Structure 1
Amino acid sequence: MKIKILSLALLGFSAVSVAQKQTQPNIILIMVDDMGYSDIGAYGSEIRTPNLDRLAAEGLRLKEFYNNSICAPTRASLLTGQSNHKAGVGYFNVNLGLPAYQGYLNRESLTLAEVLKQAGYSTLMSGKWHVGDDSIAWPNQRGFDRFFGFIGGASNYYDINGYTDKAPPVPLVENNQRINLAPGKYLTDEIAGHAVQFLEEQSKTNKPFFLYVAYNAPHWPLQAQPEDIARYKGRYSIGWDSLRSERFAKQQQLGLIAPNSTLAPDPEVPAWASLTWDEQQLWQKKMEVYAAMIDRMDQGVGKILETLKALKKDDNTLIVFISDNGAQGGFIPTGRRRQRSSGPIGTAGSYDYQEQSWAHVSNTPFRSYKASAYEGGISSPLIAWFPNKIKAGSIATGTAHLIDLAPTFYEFAGAQYPATYQQVKTNPLQGVSLARLFREGQEISRPQPLFWERAGNRAVRKGKWKIVSSYPSKDWELFDIAADRAETRNLAAAHPEVVKELAADYDQWAKANDVVDYDKIKPQGNQGFAAPTGANTAAAPQNNKRPNR
């Protein structure tokens, strides 16, 4: 009799556990690569993104969401809820000889997968890793049950062996096994396809899931499917000047940008009318392919949404969409030679870039580009979707950062962030949860400013004020972001007391996060993505008027 009672009790406990797990929301995190603030329809673009636009219309958009300006440092903060230095990726995925700059995630900074796995989640990832090249730091070793994708910072979208003898096959990894992209396959489709496959396999369990989809689109090289490129034929004949104005007007109409806002100029971008007819044709092609890459990414999002609905899991799934940094300006500044294309723009042999003039459009209405601490480098769209939990059509004003997503997901999941993990004392989370903002529209309460340092580029955001120092300068500029988000008016001379206060905050934060003066640690030669070279843009232009042929 006692055995029977005990069995019934255990069955009851098991049923409660299953029910509790089923009430935990599923979480999907989607991140794109090198995409500007205005590059999707919901943030002002003409590019066809119906699936992301639907998530925005049925969910929430943030006006001010910040990243870390460049690939690896962004991923470090996103995955851990720490500053990129505290997580071990202070510069890039290269080891500069100090713990804060070791180039891979340290054990003190737990990943989203490690924490959510402890809370009963299946943990799935498809796409770009870029926070640890050695196999001891790969996704399956950092909490992910399933992984498909590539480990480094960039990849071709096709196997291009047929185009050039110098190019290796596209190297991929699936669950710790090295594989190659099959000939004829397109990597953006494969990333979405494996995400769908993982969801279908996971549906056989009673567990909630966390799925991280890390697209490399629209990161260079410019390679896209012909049918997607054809959709944009002739759309960019108006040129970058007109297109930027067009997007700016749409952003104001949507309520993302204040009516009295200004557009940040870039004197290094030539007037479209100054180009010859032949040059205009070539530049149009670049943007047609770039748009096609974003279009294809959105199609993949649509397939994920269709799968959710088919599995009857859409009503209990939180989806967050972001970009890892702003669009890239001029060619990589130093330490790396431009690769030669062995095929037309958009094909498997193409190594072309979007480049600065079109990136200026992508980052509308902001100043500067990827790798910069100006708004054009660190601003991302953020869409949050959760049926019946997030109010449809919401546009929120609050200031948020990558470090806020980990505590947000943990609050939704009911997950506890442990003080120790596998006998290692963990770094405390540094962000604030956005759960009440998402569910109730409650204003973000941020007790501490936001800070940035990467390759000597520094910034602090505190309330409406932001100070920026662009390497190699050590001087601070001051901007009133509430009135001048495009950072067109430097107010440092008018408010020296504000500069002093925020600079002191920065020094305190830098010390607590083991930030080193960049001149003391600056790598030599081809070691990751070099620092921006000027105060106005993230990179010196590479003959932006005369495109590489």
Structure 2
Amino acid sequence: MNFKQKYFRLPILKACLLAAGLLGVQVASAQKKQKPNIVLVLVDDLGFSDIGPFGATEIETPNLDKLAAGGLKLKEFYNNSICAPTRASLLTGQYQHKAGVGFFNNNLGLAAYQGFLNHESLTLAEVLKSGGYTTLMAGKWHVGDDRNQWPNQRGFDHFFGFIGGASNYYEIGEKGTETVPLVKDNEPYFLEPGKYLTEEITNNALGFLDDQQKAKKPFFLYLAYNAPHWPLQALPADIAKYKGKYKLGWDSLRVQRYRNAIKKGLIGADQKIAAHDDQVKPWNKLTYDEQAYWQTRQEVYAAMIDHVDQGVGRLLAKLKELKQDENTIIIFISDNGAQGGNGTRPYTQRITGPVGTAGSYETQNSNWSQTGNSPLRNYKGAPYEGGISAPFIAWFPNKIKAGTIAKGTGHLIDLAPTFYELAGINYPKQLNGITSNALAGKSLLPLLSGITDTVQRSVPLFWERGGNKAVRWGKWKLVSPAGLTEKYELFDIEKDRGENADVAAQHPEVVAQLKAAYVKWAAENGVVDYETLKTAPARPAQGNNRGNQNF
């Protein structure tokens, strides 16, 4: 038996037929009467264990708890490690390079690195709209700065939010000097002083749902919160809930989260927590004042997550009010793991003010982020599990079995084929005269229906961003960190989700096969060597808009 046969087997015919027979048939039958609504909730820089269903019992997330208890959680769901590349894959069902956002939302002079979505990569909104859906978005865009690349120009009927990669949560300027650069359906929008952006994102999303009901059509809502991405700013009432909750410190809390993950069935009891980051100072080595300062930072971060959960609760209430709750699937994910780094982030708009207030501009750091990503290794931007794996929750009343936990091994590229199958839409080979890129992922319906506990693939999953490379196939994961020429690490994820033991030396044949698979994938997707790429000057964004900052 060769490597491919041993570590990845195609589903047997019986499983295929069953997959077509349960959730698929239910959905097909329902489509004759009414197509399901689709809600995709994306949060920003949320770590693997930063919400209740995945281990953060000290953060109040009752609505996410409800979705998880009434639906399905995946142990292994992958993203692209950082904001813009994740959004490119999420919105198109393509690997980020194929969609044009190989590095970030800046133009590096090659088609795979142009910094915005190409037209061959159809967006969820474009395809679902072609199938009779109203398409709505509220929140962060970050996959095209110029006006002709904005959401309304890429298939969304209505959009409220910001175009770039980050924003203040409070407006601290006057009209004409806004520090929260918002857009609503292509027009500038002023956030009134005192209003909180997370709340306004929810408000506009629910307003879109109210208006949409007049159309008598199914809807797709992309609710892309920027919380808990920096700057750390939250409502005082939310911050007050968490006063004193972080006295135990980051070292104890990361172990507590690890144990919670075991109790919740997200990792095996034989799995070890990722090795402690030696760049993070032990909590018991801090002074009293230092501990007080860092507690405050985490209190604000928790409050930001809390308010997102409140928004999810309002969404559920609105769906029930509109009598759409029984016909709506909700998917909840994060764009990457929690952010690493040590220190505050310098920023041109920064002004003085206590952390959490409109005047502050603090970031999340490796210390608490190591806790947020627990029990996984490393942070946002890295090819390790803490960078590319985050929570996944799916909720669909009477369609997805309540309380399900599955292995998953899903990826962002799997959501587009899942949504199109649910909607009964054939992915168009051409749209508006342009030949479209073929979808790269697999439908998750067999997984959501319980027919299988993992996505059945005939090829591995791949990552590249900024020189960081990874390949996942079966239990194996190959990692090549940026800046370390020809260094390859191999991990057995089934035994070592914390990526503590590099077994490359023991399995050279596996390393060789995954390296060869990566080379083939890179050529097919326009991936080039980053050491060569980064010497080329970035091209500035064209045009004049309110969201062309690169974060």
TM-score by length of 1: 0.90
Is residue 410 of structure 1 aligned with residue 420 of structure 2?
yes
Residues 409 and 363 of structure 1: is their aligned pair in 2 closer, same or farther, counting only changes over 3 Å? Answer: same
Looking at structure 2, the residues matched to 469 and 20 of structure 1 have their Cα atoms a distance apart, in angstroms, of 45
Counterpart of 1:12? none
Q: Is the 8 A contact 1:21 1:120 kept in 2?
A: no
Looking at structure 2, the residues matched to 88 and 458 of structure 1 have their Cα atoms a distance apart, in angstroms, of 18
**Residue identity in the other structure for 2:214:** K
Counterpart of 2:406? 396
Aligned residues, how many? 507
Q: Is the 8 A contact 1:169 1:180 kept in 2?
A: no
Spell out the pairing of 1:31-70 with structure 2 (5 A cutoff): 31-45=42-56, 46-70=58-82
Spell out the pairing of 1:2-81 with structure 2 (5 A cutoff): 23-45=34-56, 46-81=58-93
1:441 deviates by: 3.8
For structure 2, list consecutive stretches of 5 or more residues without a partner in the other structure. 1-29, 541-551
Counterpart of 2:323? 312
For structure 1, list consecutive stretches of 5 or more residues without a partner in the other structure. 1-18, 529-549
Looking at structure 2, the residues matched to 178 and 526 of structure 1 have their Cα atoms a distance apart, in angstroms, of 27
Residues 170 and 105 of structure 1: is their aligned pair in 2 closer, same or farther, counting only changes over 3 Å? Answer: same
Looking at structure 2, the residues matched to 240 and 526 of structure 1 have their Cα atoms a distance apart, in angstroms, of 38
**Residue identity in the other structure for 2:408:** G
1:333 deviates by: 11
Residues 23 and 166 of structure 1: is their aligned pair in 2 closer, same or farther, counting only changes over 3 Å? Answer: closer
SS in 1 for 2:506: coil
Counterpart of 2:142? 130
- Of residues 103, 106, 109, the one that matches 2:121 is 109
- Of residues 426, 447, 452, the one that matches 2:463 is 452
Spell out the pairing of 1:134-173 with structure 2 (5 A cutoff): 134-161=146-173, 168-173=178-183
Q: Greater RCO between the two (CA within 8 Å, min separation 6)?
A: 2
Counterpart of 1:222? 232
**Residue identity in the other structure for 2:215:** T
Q: What CA deviation, in whole Å up to 9, does each residue of 1:432-486 have, x standing for no partner? A: 0001211234242111100000000000000000000111013110000000011
Spell out the pairing of 1:283-362 with structure 2 (5 A cutoff): 283-331=294-342, 340-362=350-372
- Of residues 466, 473, 479, the one that matches 2:477 is 466
- Of residues 521, 537, 542, the one that matches 2:533 is 521
Counterpart of 2:507? 495
Q: Is the 8 A contact 2:31 2:424 kept in 1?
A: no
Q: What CA deviation, in whole Å up to 9, does each residue of 1:105-151 have, x standing for no partner? A: 00000000000001100000000000000000000000000000000
SS in 2 for 1:204: helix
Q: Is the 8 A contact 2:227 2:305 kept in 1?
A: yes
**Residue identity in the other structure for 2:490:** L
SS in 2 for 1:499: helix
Q: Is the 8 A contact 1:74 1:324 kept in 2?
A: yes
Spell out the pairing of 1:522-541 with structure 2 (5 A cutoff): 522=534
Looking at structure 2, the residues matched to 414 and 498 of structure 1 have their Cα atoms a distance apart, in angstroms, of 39
Q: What CA deviation, in whole Å up to 9, does each residue of 1:20-63 have, x standing for no partner? A: 57511000000000010000000000210000110000000000
Counterpart of 2:4? none
Q: Is the 8 A contact 1:330 1:356 kept in 2?
A: yes
Is residue 83 of structure 1 aligned with residue 71 of structure 2?
no
Looking at structure 1, the residues matched to 464 and 197 of structure 2 have their Cα atoms a distance apart, in angstroms, of 32
Counterpart of 1:537? none
Q: Is the 8 A contact 2:106 2:538 kept in 1?
A: no
Residues 68 and 111 of structure 1: is their aligned pair in 2 closer, same or farther, counting only changes over 3 Å? Answer: same
**Residue identity in the other structure for 1:463:** G
Q: Is the 8 A contact 1:69 1:377 kept in 2?
A: yes
1:405 deviates by: 0.2
Q: Is the 8 A contact 2:71 2:404 kept in 1?
A: yes
Is residue 177 of structure 1 aligned with residue 187 of structure 2?
yes
Residues 493 and 332 of structure 1: is their aligned pair in 2 closer, same or farther, counting only changes over 3 Å? Answer: farther
Spell out the pairing of 1:503-514 with structure 2 (5 A cutoff): 503-514=515-526
**Residue identity in the other structure for 2:180:** V
SS in 2 for 1:430: coil
Q: CA RMSD in A?
A: 1.9
1:396 deviates by: 0.4
Looking at structure 1, the residues matched to 253 and 446 of structure 2 have their Cα atoms a distance apart, in angstroms, of 36
Question: Share of identical aligned residues, percent?
Answer: 62
Counterpart of 1:197? 207
Q: Is the 8 A contact 1:21 1:208 kept in 2?
A: no
Looking at structure 1, the residues matched to 526 and 243 of structure 2 have their Cα atoms a distance apart, in angstroms, of 49
1:180 deviates by: 2.0
Residues 175 and 368 of structure 1: is their aligned pair in 2 closer, same or farther, counting only changes over 3 Å? Answer: same
1:169 deviates by: 2.9
**Residue identity in the other structure for 2:445:** A
1:195 deviates by: 0.8
**Residue identity in the other structure for 1:276:** T
Looking at structure 1, the residues matched to 233 and 32 of structure 2 have their Cα atoms a distance apart, in angstroms, of 42
Q: What CA deviation, in whole Å up to 9, does each residue of 1:270-329 have, x standing for no partner? A: 110000000000000000000000000100111011000000000000000000000000
Looking at structure 2, the residues matched to 172 and 441 of structure 1 have their Cα atoms a distance apart, in angstroms, of 43
Q: Is the 8 A contact 1:159 1:185 kept in 2?
A: yes
Is residue 210 of structure 1 aligned with residue 210 of structure 2?
no
Looking at structure 1, the residues matched to 469 and 348 of structure 2 have their Cα atoms a distance apart, in angstroms, of 27
**Residue identity in the other structure for 2:185:** N
SS in 2 for 1:315: helix
Q: Is the 8 A contact 1:196 1:307 kept in 2?
A: yes
**Residue identity in the other structure for 2:108:** L
SS in 2 for 1:232: coil
Looking at structure 1, the residues matched to 142 and 377 of structure 2 have their Cα atoms a distance apart, in angstroms, of 26
Q: Is the 8 A contact 2:338 2:369 kept in 1?
A: yes
**Residue identity in the other structure for 2:365:** E
SS in 2 for 1:117: helix
1:407 deviates by: 0.2
Q: Is the 8 A contact 2:85 2:104 kept in 1?
A: yes
Q: Is the 8 A contact 2:250 2:368 kept in 1?
A: yes
Q: What CA deviation, in whole Å up to 9, does each residue of 1:51-98 have, x standing for no partner? A: 011000000000000000000000000000000000000000000000
Residues 524 and 356 of structure 1: is their aligned pair in 2 closer, same or farther, counting only changes over 3 Å? Answer: farther
Residues 266 and 339 of structure 1: is their aligned pair in 2 closer, same or farther, counting only changes over 3 Å? Answer: farther
Looking at structure 2, the residues matched to 467 and 337 of structure 1 have their Cα atoms a distance apart, in angstroms, of 36
Residues 424 and 327 of structure 1: is their aligned pair in 2 closer, same or farther, counting only changes over 3 Å? Answer: same
Q: Is the 8 A contact 1:325 1:377 kept in 2?
A: yes
SS in 1 for 2:505: coil
1:373 deviates by: 0.4
**Residue identity in the other structure for 1:354:** Q
Spell out the pairing of 1:230-241 with structure 2 (5 A cutoff): 230-241=240-251
Q: Is the 8 A contact 2:108 2:539 kept in 1?
A: no
Q: Is the 8 A contact 1:22 1:207 kept in 2?
A: no
1:380 deviates by: 1.1
**Residue identity in the other structure for 1:99:** A
Is residue 266 of structure 1 aligned with residue 277 of structure 2?
yes
Residues 236 and 438 of structure 1: is their aligned pair in 2 closer, same or farther, counting only changes over 3 Å? Answer: same
**Residue identity in the other structure for 1:307:** K
TM-score by length of 2: 0.89
